[in-house]
Amino acid sequence: MKKITTALTVLLALSLPLMAQEANKPAKKPAVPNTSTSPTEGRVGYVSEKKITVKAKGAEASTAFQVDAETKVTLHGESKTVAEIKKGWIVKATPRSSDVGTAATIEIIKAEVPAKKDPKPESAPSGSNE
């Protein structure tokens, strides 16, 4: 019984820092359905055959658009499919005039995912002559 108690104490002690890190992360805001008649330009946060979310620069939450067979997807004027859109790409989603919650067109503006920034390398301490 003492071994089990010790093992549980050690496990709890090791997991506390991980739980604290998760608690410090800001909660993601859920995507809100589009209600505007204006196009939304921004980074793709989620994409499927039925839905895409676009987060405009400076916006707190992503804007969600439904996608259907009538939604036209283009890259430099060339027809593409929703399945070809990748998370992180920059797009301009234009809502359908009869149903602003559904995208009429999705124009792929920048078809590349930004590279993650590497942390700065540590510099050698000053005064060392190696």
- Using one digit for the tens of pLDDT, what is the confidence trace for 53-80? 999 999 999 999 999 999 999 998 999 9
Beta-strand relationship, 72-75 and 103-110: parallel
Residue 44, in any domain of the structure: yes
Global pTM reads 0.68
Helix (H, G, I), strand (E, B) or coil at 57: coil
The DSSP output letter for 102 is B
Q: What range does the domain containing 75 cover?
A: 32-110
Domains identified in the chain, total number: 1
pLDDT value of position 127: 55
Residue 43, in any domain of the structure: yes
CATH code, domain carrying 63: 2.40.50.320
Q: What percent of the chain has pLDDT over 90?
A: 60
